[in-house]
A = this chain, B = another copy of it.
Amino acid sequence: METKEVINRHVTLKDYIVGEPKESDFVLKSCTFSLKLEEGSQDVLVKHLYFSIDPYQRARMKYYSSSHKAPFASVLNPGSVIDTYGVAKVIISNHPDFKEGDLVVGMIGIQDYSIITPATGLLTKIKYTDIPLSNYVGVLGLTGFTAYAGLHNVCSPQKGEQVFISAACGSVGHLAGQFAKLQGCHVVGSCGSKQKVELLKNRLGFDDAFNYKEEPDLNAALKRCFPRGIDIYFENVGGDMLEAVLENMNVHGRIAVCGAISQYNRDKPEGVTDPMKLVYQRIKMQGFLAADYLNSFPEFIEKTRGYLIDGRIESLEDISDGLESVPSAFVGLFQGHNVGKKIVRLHA
């Protein structure tokens, strides 16, 4: 049988990014690619279907000098394929656990095809296909799990507690807020448009929401929304918002630091924390990565799938099509373009 040759396109960086990312920082490259596997290997060839587009990737795209710690295991070097969490379909399999047509989820390159060595354990077979496949990179992916682990494992919410979520219409925020509502908390979100405010209040069940762009005084906005103070803050933005939140935290408050989107493009992040505010109110401020809690991932999947099916959680997805849309999808994250989880769809 003749080997089929295809074009395999991938997205890469032209150079390390400084400041606000631009679409022109990215380039789409093509290679020819043989749809075949090495004989005797246990490899699997997959075609990519959905990619998760995440703000955290910004930190992987900058240059780190040897005296500063890189933020994660791997920096994305210019020219190399950008990897992300995604869904793929098996085309050819040499591995006994996978067969043609299987759907898998895990870390994949932002490209059309790839060959995976399943021994690395990077791909998990998708068990349930009664929900949209895109959900696996959003509400049932690392995004949803980040919301779940940050809220439950870091903040231990109790019924009746006052919960504030920033970037509440973002991929993680809109889910963290809904998880908090399921715990019986009073939940308020901040976001960047009137449309998002409506969505949070009318569709996602937030108790209140405000558009930070229309609030000249964030401290006053928080005092208005939280006359009883804030017990839990799910931090996604950093900067002035964190400063204002610290003025409104209750004693023994908890802050799960998930992200700081206002800060990612700064060469020198804004300092916002007067550490003494943590002391006076005895606040715990904890950074976390969902990856640290992976042993509860299966439990999370079962539970959250149930919530999705019975309508107790709604997943907002913002899907664009084609590898060509990856640069604008990523750049738009920092301009608040996305409503909910930003996803790029391919071949689907």
B285 touches A285 (CB 8 A): yes
Interface string of A252-287 (1 = CB under 8 A from B): 100001111001100001111111111111111111
For A, the interface residue count at a CB cutoff of 8 angstroms equals 42
**Known contacts A68-B247, A219-B67, A247-B69: does B275 contact A242 (CB below 8 Å)?**
yes
Contact A269 B263 (CB under 8 A): no
Q: How far is the CA of A274 from the CA of B59 in the complex (A)?
A: 13
CA distance A235 to B275 in the complex (A): 9
| Among B235, B263, B278, contact of A287 (Cβ-Cβ < 8 Å) | B278
Query: Contact: A72 with B289, CB < 8 Å?
Result: no
Q: A67-B219, A69-B247, A219-B67 are in contact. Are A259 and B286 (CB under 8 A)?
A: no
B263 and A278 contacting across the interface, CB-CB below 8 Å: no
User: Which of B242, B286, B289 meets A284, CB within 8 Å?
Assistant: B286
Within the complex, what minimum Cβ distance (angstroms) separates A110 from chain B?
Answer: 22
Contact A292 B282 (CB under 8 A): yes
Q: Does A138 contact B (CB under 8 A)?
A: no
Asked if A238 is at the interface (CB within 8 A of a chain B CB), the reply is yes
A275 touches B273 (CB 8 A): yes
Query: What are the residues of chain B within 8 A of A247 when measuring CB–CB?
Result: 68-69
**Complex alpha-carbon distance, A260 and B278, angstroms:** 11
User: Which residue in B59, B275, B280, B287 is a CB contact (below 8 Å) of A275?
Assistant: B287
> B273, A272: Cβ atoms under 8 Å?
yes
Q: A282-B287, A283-B287 are in contact. Are A257 and B275 (CB under 8 A)?
A: yes
Contact between B279 and A289, CB atoms less than 8 A apart: yes
CB-CB under 8 A from A257, the residues of chain B are 275-276, 278-279
- Interface mask (A225-261 → B, CB under 8 Å = 1, otherwise 0): 0000000000100100010000100001000011110
- Interchain nearest-CB distance for A64 vs B (Å): 11
Kindly provide the distance from the CB of A75 to the nearest chain B CB, expressed in whole angstroms: 12
Is A71 positioned at the interface, with any CB of B under 8 Å from its CB? yes
Q: How far is the CB of A222 from chain B (nearest CB, A)?
A: 11
Residues of B within 8 A of A264 (CB): 276
Nearest-neighbor residue (CB-CB) of A292 within chain B: B282
A297 interfacial contact with B, CB 8 Å: no
Bound-state CA distance A251–B72 (Å) is 11
Residue numbers of A with Cβ under 8 A of B are 59, 67-69, 71-72, 219-220, 223, 235, 238, 242, 247, 252, 257-260, 263-264, 269-289, 292
Pick 9 A–B contacts, CB within 8 A, sort by A.
A59-B276, A59-B280, A71-B276, A269-B274, A269-B276, A271-B274, A279-B288, A282-B288, A285-B285
Closest 7 CB pairs of A and B: A271-B271, A278-B287, A279-B287, A269-B274, A273-B273, A71-B280, A284-B286
**Further pairs besides A259-B279, A282-B286: 10, Cβ < 8 Å:** A67-B223, A242-B275, A257-B279, A259-B276, A263-B274, A272-B275, A278-B287, A281-B287, A282-B287, A282-B288
